[in-house]
């Protein structure tokens, strides 16, 4: 499994300066396929010296051969090799900061007892004040049970934490939203619903993450009914928003109308179901979903209730067979399943100018190399290829807008508006096969999504507050 696009490692080396020169070491690392991008002298010395060399390699497999060659070099002791990604995770990736200092008793008596008591009583008397007097107005819970973490599957709540911390970082860095990762040691939907319901007073929104299907549908629907704050399963709706944005732009390139295309969605789990629904709402008429046992159609009674509902609204021609069968004549492939499920032969059965969105993480359903030049528009969920279709483009701006408008929910029309906002950031002049979707670093994304979400929240009556920049607007 290729977990990183390009890897960099830190080699800590102890050099016997009488036996080897630094230049010799540099050239050996170069010969072995490494590129030294930083050098830190850890322990200088006349005879021996300890240095940390940050070395970037194109393929993770190079690290092993390169380390072996460095170890074997006369005069060099390779002390250790650290993966920079692991180093970045030491102690976790986020922490809590106070907004006001506590320097004296006066400060203390206001942030804490006795002063805090009158704020508590004000909220007791009017609970809606919790939005203005606590962190609630800007805070989201990122809740997972670790059952469908990226495409890694059920790896458990402890192992899910790095992803949830990452999501919390993205909320903060991209949209200024404070987010807490909460990984639950239970897979019982009833227990998850009860826990999230009980946690809700702390939060202005609930972002469910990496909870496997079909459990995720029941959990989200029930929580939406129970809570008056937005509950949003990111893998379903964040993904669907970004997918639609990418597809709207890709269709402009190939000059096809959304009503006329055949779309094959592979992986009818959380993301696959929600993406399919979004595409149908946007005008797709010919959509076929495929999972492990082949195309989903009305001729079968599925144990998975979500698939019976799915069969009722998709596959108008009742196509049967495996992915390799139903892909024939498709204009668009959308992968939300597992790595390497599509091959070049399959792609060649698609209509001319195929669009392939291979969105499984961390490895796509088909690599760009295998997809080849026959594919007209290719996109993945990864950061290291062009056209990153990843829900990170959606959830920060969607929650920014929902929190600012104190929305009670995130409706279908708010999601559709968010998708169109993301798509519109790529201008007609900029649009090309390798640029159908703005980068996550494009600073227009979050403001555009926020604006669209707030406008739609106000329009559909779910906003409980008009943000100041929306007052007095026509």
To the query of whether residue 378 is one of the catalytic residues in this protein, the response is: no
Cα–Cα distance for residue pair 429/115, rounded to 1 Å: 58
Of the residues 17, 112, 292, 374, only one is catalytic, namely: 112
- Residue 384 is assigned to a ligand binding site: no
Candidate list 170, 290, 414, 446; residue touching ligand NAI; CB under 6 A: 290
Least Å distance between CB 240 and ligand NAI? 9
DSSP category for residue 432: B
**Cα separations in angstroms, 261 against 247, 295, 373:** 11, 17, 21
Check the annotation: does 209 bind a ligand.
yes
Tell whether residue 141 is a contact of ligand NAI (CB under 6 A). no
CA distance 426 to 436: 7
Here the tokens at position 225 are 């009914």
Least distance to ligand PYR, CB of residue 392, Å: 7
Residue reference for tokens 């919790």 = 130
Q: In this chain, which residue has its C-beta nearest to ligand NAI? A: 269
Lookup result for tokens 């008009």: 466
d(CA 36, CA 10): 9
Q: Specify the residue, 48 or 442, whose C-beta has the smaller distance to ligand PYR.
A: 442
Out of 139, 144, 213, 249, name the contact with ligand NAI by CB under 6 A: 213
Task: Verify whether residue 167 is a known catalytic residue.
Answer: yes
Contact residues for ligand PYR, defined by CB under 6 A: 150, 210, 234-235, 361, 381, 390-391
Query: Can you tell me the distance from the alpha carbon of 284 to that of 282, in angstroms, rounded to the nearest whole number?
Result: 6
The string over 128-157, giving b where at least 16 C-beta atoms fall within 10 Å of a residue's C-beta and e elsewhere, is eebbeebebbbbbbbbbbbbbbebbeeeeb
Query: Which 3 state secondary structure label does DSSP give 141?
Result: strand
Does residue 404 belong to the site contacting ligand NAI (CB under 6 A)?
Answer: no
- Residue 233 and residue 57: Cα distance in Å, rounded? 36
Given the complex with Mg ion, which of 170 and 366 has the nearer CB atom?
A: 170
Q: Does 165 bind Mg ion (CB under 5 A)?
A: no
- On whether 126 is known to bind a ligand per the annotation, the reply is no
With contacts defined by CB under 6 A, how many residues of the chain interact with ligand NAI? 28
- Residues 227-266 within binding reach of Mg ion (CB under 5 A): 235
CB 66 within 8 A of CB 29: yes
Restricted to residues 197-216, the positions that interact with Mg ion (CB under 5 A) are 210
Distances (CA, A) of 189 to 145, 178, 410: 10, 26, 21
CA 467 to chain CA mean position, Å: 27
Instruction: Could you list the residues known to form a binding site for (S)-malate, using ranges.
Output: 361, 390
> Which residues contact ligand NAI by CB under 6 A?
148, 150-151, 212-213, 235, 239, 266-272, 290-292, 336-338, 341, 359-361, 381, 389-391
> Which residues contact Mg ion by CB under 5 A?
210, 235
Instruction: Could you list the residues known to form a binding site, using ranges.
Output: 209-210, 235, 361, 390
Tell me the catalytic residues: 112, 167
């Amino acid at each position: 499994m290729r977990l990183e696009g390009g890897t960099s490692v830190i080699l800590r080396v102890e050099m016997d300066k009488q036996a080897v020169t630094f230049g010799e070491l540099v050239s050996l690392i170069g010969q072995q396929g490494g590129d030294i991008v930083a050098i830190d002298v850890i322990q200088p010395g006349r005879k021996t010296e300890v240095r940390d060399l940050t070395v970037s390699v194109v393929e993770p497999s190079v690290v092993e051969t390169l380390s072996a060659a460095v170890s074997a070099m006369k005069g060099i002791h390779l002390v250790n090799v650290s993966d920079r990604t692991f180093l970045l995770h030491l102690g976790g990736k986020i922490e809590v900061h106070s907004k006001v200092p506590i320097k004296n008793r006066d400060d203390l008596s206001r942030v804490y007892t006795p002063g805090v008591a009158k704020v508590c009583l004000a909220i007791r008397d009017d609970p809606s004040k919790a939005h203005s007097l606590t962190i609630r107005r800007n805070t989201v819970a990122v809740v997972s049970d670790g059952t469908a973490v990226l495409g890694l599957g059920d790896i458990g709540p402890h192992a899910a934490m790095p992803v949830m911390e990452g999501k919390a970082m993205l909320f903060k860095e991209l949209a200024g939203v404070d987010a807490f990762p909460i990984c639950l040691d239970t897979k019982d939907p009833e227990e998850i619903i009860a826990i999230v319901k009980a946690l809700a007073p702390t939060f202005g929104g609930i972002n469910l993450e990496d909870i496997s299907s079909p459990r995720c549908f029941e959990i989200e629907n029930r929580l939406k009914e129970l809570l008056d704050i937005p509950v949003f399963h990111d893998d379903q709706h964040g993904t669907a928003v970004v997918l639609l944005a990418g597809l709207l732009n890709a269709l402009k390139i190939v000059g096809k109308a959304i009503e006329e295309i055949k779309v094959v969605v592979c992986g009818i789990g959380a993301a696959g179901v929600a993406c399919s629904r979004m595409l149908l709402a946007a005008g797709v008429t010919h959509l076929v979903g495929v999972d492990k046992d082949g195309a989903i159609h009305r001729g079968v009674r599925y144990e998975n209730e979500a698939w019976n509902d799915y069969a009722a609204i998709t596959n108008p021609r009742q196509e049967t067979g495996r992915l390799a069968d139903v892909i024939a004549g498709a204009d668009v492939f959308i992968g939300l399943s597992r790595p390497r499920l599509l091959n070049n032969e399959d792609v060649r059965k698609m209509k001319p100018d195929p669009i392939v969105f291979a969105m499984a993480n961390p490895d796509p359903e088909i690599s760009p190399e295998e997809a080849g030049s026959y594919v007209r528009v290719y996109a993945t969920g990864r950061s290291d290829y062009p056209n990153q279709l990843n829900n990170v483009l959606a959830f920060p701006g969607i929650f920014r807008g929902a929190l600012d408008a104190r929305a009670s929910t995130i409706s279908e029309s708010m999601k559709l508006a968010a998708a169109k906002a993301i798509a519109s950031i790529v201008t007609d002049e900029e649009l090309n096969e390798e640029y159908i979707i703005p980068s996550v670093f494009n600073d227009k994304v979050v403001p555009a999504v926020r604006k669209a979400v707030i406008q739609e929240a106000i329009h559909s009556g779910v906003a409980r507050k008009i943000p100041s920049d929306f007052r007095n607007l026509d």
